[in-house]
Amino acid sequence: MFLCAIEKGSLLEYTGKIVDIVYTCGCNLRCNFCCNPTLVLPSMLKQLSQNEYDLYIEELTHSRITFLDAIVYSGGEPLLHKELKSFMEFIISLKLENYLYTNGILTNRLEQLLKAKLIQKVRVDLKGSELNFEQVTHKSKKLLTNIRQSIILLFDYLDPNDIQLVTVESTQTSKDDIKPFLATLPSKIVDRWTTVPMFGEKKLQDYNIGGF
């Protein structure tokens, strides 16, 4: 099962629309300030049971479809999961929209979904630049190449108004930390970038992440 949790009936993520948020299991980054450690650390993952999943699909198909506008995909990193494509196809068949939150690393999988017209809105979370990416994410800064390619790709497929570039401001990532990365992007893309405050009480940095 690729889903760990479902939040029903949110009005916060997509302005003017009612959404359900599905949280996928696992992530390819280990950001110190991550507010969803239970979706990232293998030792803490708790997947939905098949019965829980089936009940949600039944509820979605027979009742929630009457008032929902979209499904938001968060995590973790949703693009890690091959099952995502078929799930998005199902959501499109219900005449609902797909809104993806991603870190932008898995460019090829993102492109597959965009080509299939399965994504209507995307938020890319920028974790850092060459200055601090490895310190913040515990992964190679070479991944910034993938993220850059993904962002440019989005502007080839979607209306700019349906693309969000977001940085969660924390003690390790500020506006100035992101600027070197933004300088490598066209100005029309940089104009879509904004920052949001960090939230959540328990962060990944509060756990022992040795071995990742």
Closest by CA to 115, choosing from 146, 157, 79, 84, is 157
- The pLDDT of residue 23 is 96
Nearest to 183 by CA among 171, 193, 174, 173: 193
Least confidently predicted of 28-32, 34-38, 116-120, 151-155:
34-38
Cα 30 from chain centre: 14
Cα atoms in the 13 Å half-sphere on the side-chain side of 178: 20
Helix (H, G, I), strand (E, B) or coil at 92: helix
Q: Taking the mean position of all CA atoms in its chain, how far away is CA 196?
A: 15
Between 212 and 152, where is the model more confident? 152
Cβ neighbours around 118 below 10 Å, total: 19
Question: CA-to-CA distance for 39 and 23, rounded, in angstroms?
Answer: 8
Q: Could you tell me if 67 and 18 are in contact, meaning their C-beta atoms sit under 8 angstroms apart?
A: yes
pLDDT in tens, 74-111: 999 999 999 999 999 999 999 999 999 999 999 999 99
Q: 68 to each of 22, 35, 75, 193, how far by Cα in Å?
A: 13, 26, 20, 28
Share of the chain above pLDDT 70, in %: 92
Residue type, position 115, single letter: K
Q: Classify the C-alpha dihedral 135-139-141-147 as positive or negative.
A: negative
Distance, CA of 2 to CA of 25 (rounded, Å): 6
Q: Which backbone phi and psi does 109 adopt, to 5 degrees? A: -70, -35
Residue 7 has pLDDT above 50, yes or no: yes
Task: Note the pLDDT of residue 199.
Answer: 59
pLDDT number for residue 171: 64
Residue 212 binned pLDDT confidence (cut-offs 50, 70, 90): very low
* Model confidence pLDDT, tens digit, residues 110-166: 999 999 999 999 999 998 888 889 998 999 999 999 999 999 999 999 999 999 999
Is the pLDDT at 203 greater than 60? The verdict is: no
What's the pTM value of the predicted model, to 2 decimals? 0.90
